[in-house]
Structure 1
Amino acid sequence: MPREKEGKQKTKGTPLPIVPILQKFLKTYQKHCAQTQTSVCPAIKQDLKTSINNEQILRKFMLVRPDDSPPSILPISLEPLLMTIRDECYLLGKEICIWGLQLSNPEIARLASLLELKGRTTCPFTTLELIDCRMDLWSLQRLGRALPCSYLHSLVLDYCRFGNEEIESIFSGLENNQRLQVLSLRYCGLGPQNGPRLGSIICQSSICELHLDGNYLQCSGALALLRPIAEYAEMQGKDQPDTRNSPQQLQAKQRASSTSNRITKPSGAETGKTASGKERRKKGIKKIKDSAGPWLVKLYLADNGIDGKGKEGENGLLEFTQILTCLIKYSAHLREIDLGNNVLGEMAATDILEALRARKTGSSQRTHLSKMRINHKDEESRIQKSGEPIQKSREESPRGT
């Protein structure tokens, strides 16, 4: 009898048989490519074979159009990959990166449906990169509707050129988003009119990293973006220390609380059927809503036409500098600012230097500003005297299409 029980026991902690899982995934992917009359992506095939040889889990899918592919070759499509992830129930991937493809409406619809998965089978992906991809308005609207329901922590849309209606579709999906922490819209054609909307989104969400290099916000757009963030930071810095939990700390506490609840709470409390259970649930939701931004830690605004040459002239640059220095002085979370390839001038450099000094002597709860990048020689020499690290600007151009 003891031997029979011993044989029936399941061994705990045994590693997943990852090699047969990936081999079957590759076989199914090739089958779906044949069925849809599309090409197997060389990068996907190579990554799968490398992971099989190394007996490692494949976390990142890179769907890339080869630069030297002749026109006669069948196109590479996202749909066979998504169909394979669905058919194989592959929940080990974390990142899906698509570069240089024309994405059709059915492909975006399938991607959006995957991102919206909830319940017992949730979408595994926390990072989505659509770089230099072409999508129409319908696709962007469908993707925007999926964002509030997704589990994404990072969204990268670099080199995707947007009009006002297209970018509004994405912005609508980012409002009050308590999961997304990294947003990258580099070289997307954003202008001054997009600044107020971006500022509102950052203030209502958990976005910590904002990459906007290579757009044309100018002084007015950058000012509208930073004003609500700086004003909130000043209010918190002058009135009282910011005791809220950051998005990362909040997620860690929620995971710990969830584990503790499963161990200690009776079944009625877990299902929320009792009145006290409902009350606790409501309090939890309220706490998450109260933890909304701004949480800005990294701000990248290189090459955005921020100078005194716009229609606002020098007054616009002066006002932007005042808001920027206010943010530097009082923000409790800010660590990196990149303003390379913008002509701020010597007066702005002097104000930034004073703000850096004030930050050093201010509240101990403020993080150290580890990076401040500008490009004017006089500005560099002034900031370097403050003891703050500085990186020289270098020219960046959009990725070729």
Structure 2
Amino acid sequence: MRNARSASRGTGSHTAVGLLRALWKRYEHHCTQTDSCPCKLLKEDIFLQIEKQQTLKKITLSFPDYTPSDSVLPSLQPLLMALRDERYTHVEELNIRKLSLEQKDIVELCLLLERGGRTVYPIRLLELVDCKHSDWYLERLGKAVKSSFITTLCLDYTHMSEGLKGLLRGGLGASQIRSLSLCYCGLGSWSGTVLASLFTKSSVRELFINGNELQCVGATELLRPLALNSQKRAETLNMTISNTGKKTRKRRAKTESRPEVKGRPWLKKLHMFDNSIDDQVPSQLKLFMELICILVKFSSDLTELDLGENHIGEAGGKELLEALKERKAAKLSAIKIQVSTRMSTETFSAVLKNSKKLKSGKRKQQKTVQYLKSSNVFYCAFQVISIQLQLGCID
């Protein structure tokens, strides 16, 4: 019996190695045919898995060393052709970064994602980060995602105007997506209403929109249906169960999990880091904070809330603190929270004390000293000032 098992493992390993060698050979062939440069990172990943004698489940296509002056350009086409030719169906995660996507690329990618083809590719995570495209591409992608296995979609650094509406028209709301990331996509206050409509139709439970410009108006429109639904659900539960006793809390959890009680929309994670939410118009910030506090007080599903680099101020910090205390009194689970430090130290510390620490998520890459070196003048000035500070020549 033991020999049979080891023989079975050996056969599986041999199959994995053969599949990966064939995939790389086919990919190189298509790169030559299409005059595209092969991806060094993909080669490293494939040969690492060959050493391990395991299939490659996560494919990353990225060209960090590429410059626009290169004679041979990177392309998505060779990879898609190789996957289809070899019927390589082991990919679960597809990560594509900084590529200019042509119409043919989009069509081929969508055909690969959709379940309707002869061969099914069970890709569950798709990342298209900082890829140039047209608005048409997002609508077509929405249609493909609707009939795919994808549950996590990341479109960070993808500039969107009509593109967000195109995703919805394509059918994003009817997809299986649970986690949606649209960080640094140029989303303005107009997008709040569009995103709110998405929640009322879709199964999205995690939203990452860091580095956009929703401002108070857009963020308020986004939060309104979420806050009102969480309050309605809490009121429904309070009418059906009492608030005392251990057995009652168990009944509450069971009741809360029923489909008729747990209706849409609701979220587990909401990351709105750096969205220009501030007190320039106090009445707008007040309305935004009212909805945030309703969500914090009543949503038992919410586990993460990132409001970092949004300046809710001292008054907003105190409102949030009171909401956190009420949540604690209602015996709901603690939320991981991040807020701006632009409030008193006492209030900021109290907010953190009544919540869990949220680790830094997606942040825009910061300029480094290396950037300064690109300009000798600025770099020299930087060095001179640094030396003077060390010597105490300037305060």
> TM-score over 0.5 for the alignment?
yes
Change beyond 3 A, Cα 1:237–1:70: closer
Change beyond 3 A, Cα 1:211–1:84: same
Query: What SS is found at the alignment partner of 2:94?
Result: strand
Return 136-145 or 40-49, whichever deviates more.
136-145
Q: Is the 8 A contact 2:271 2:305 kept in 1?
A: yes
Match of 1:253 in 2: none
Residue of 366, 373, 385 corresponding to 2:338: 373
- The 1-side partners of 2:148 and 2:261 are apart by 20
Return 188-197 or 113-122, whichever deviates more.
113-122
How many angstroms does 1:224 deviate by? 0.3
Give the unaligned 5+ runs of structure 1. 1-6, 247-286
Q: Is the 8 A contact 2:99 2:131 kept in 1?
A: yes
Matches of residues 59-78 of structure 1 in structure 2 within 5 Å?
Answer: 59-69=57-67, 71-78=69-76
Residue of 100, 103, 123 corresponding to 1:102: 100
Query: What SS is found at the alignment partner of 2:153?
Result: strand
Change beyond 3 A, Cα 1:380–1:13: farther
Change beyond 3 A, Cα 1:381–1:85: farther
- Which amino acid is 2:235 matched to? K
- Which amino acid is 2:339 matched to? I
**Number of residue pairs matched by the alignment:** 344
Match of 1:316 in 2: 284
Matches of residues 183-202 of structure 1 in structure 2 within 5 Å?
Answer: 183-202=180-199
- The 1-side partners of 2:303 and 2:236 are apart by 21
Return 172-181 or 78-87, whichever deviates more.
172-181
Query: What SS is found at the alignment partner of 1:183?
Result: strand
Change beyond 3 A, Cα 1:76–1:178: closer
Match of 2:34 in 1: 36
Q: Is the 8 A contact 2:136 2:166 kept in 1?
A: no
Residue of 367, 389, 400 corresponding to 2:356: 389
- Greater relative contact order: 1 or 2 (C-alpha under 8 angstroms, separation 6 or more)? 1
Change beyond 3 A, Cα 1:55–1:230: same
Query: What SS is found at the alignment partner of 2:105?
Result: helix
How many angstroms does 1:360 deviate by? 0.9
Match of 2:143 in 1: 145
- The 2-side partners of 1:148 and 1:227 are apart by 26
- Which amino acid is 1:154 matched to? T
Matches of residues 1-400 of structure 1 in structure 2 within 5 Å?
Answer: 15-16=12-13, 17-69=15-67, 71-118=69-116, 121-163=119-161, 165-173=162-170, 175-240=172-237, 243=255, 245=257, 293-309=264-280, 313-362=281-330, 364=331, 366-369=332-335, 371-378=336-343, 381-385=346-350, 386-390=353-357, 396-397=363-364
- The 2-side partners of 1:187 and 1:82 are apart by 27
Give the unaligned 5+ runs of structure 2. 238-251, 368-395
Change beyond 3 A, Cα 1:28–1:120: closer
Give TM-score scaled by structure 2 length: 0.80
Change beyond 3 A, Cα 1:359–1:84: same
How many angstroms does 1:174 deviate by? 5.1
Q: Is the 8 A contact 1:100 1:131 kept in 2?
A: yes
Please, what is the CA RMSD of the aligned residues?
A: 2.8
How many angstroms does 1:399 deviate by? 8.2
Query: What SS is found at the alignment partner of 1:96?
Result: strand
How many angstroms does 1:178 deviate by? 4.8
- The 2-side partners of 1:393 and 1:127 are apart by 21
- The 2-side partners of 1:290 and 1:25 are apart by 49
- The 1-side partners of 2:118 and 2:261 are apart by 28
Q: Is the 8 A contact 2:304 2:358 kept in 1?
A: no
- Which amino acid is 2:276 matched to? G
Q: What do the CA deviations read for 1:234-277 (whole angstroms, capped 9, x no partner)?
A: 0001112574659xxxxxxxxxxxxxxxxxxxxxxxxxxxxxxx
Change beyond 3 A, Cα 1:308–1:234: same
Return 204-213 or 223-232, whichever deviates more.
204-213
Change beyond 3 A, Cα 1:306–1:109: same
- The 2-side partners of 1:379 and 1:99 are apart by 41
Q: What do the CA deviations read for 1:84-124 (whole angstroms, capped 9, x no partner)?
A: 11111111111111111101000011001111123773221
Q: What do the CA deviations read for 1:136-171 (whole angstroms, capped 9, x no partner)?
A: 1222222122121121110100011111x2221123
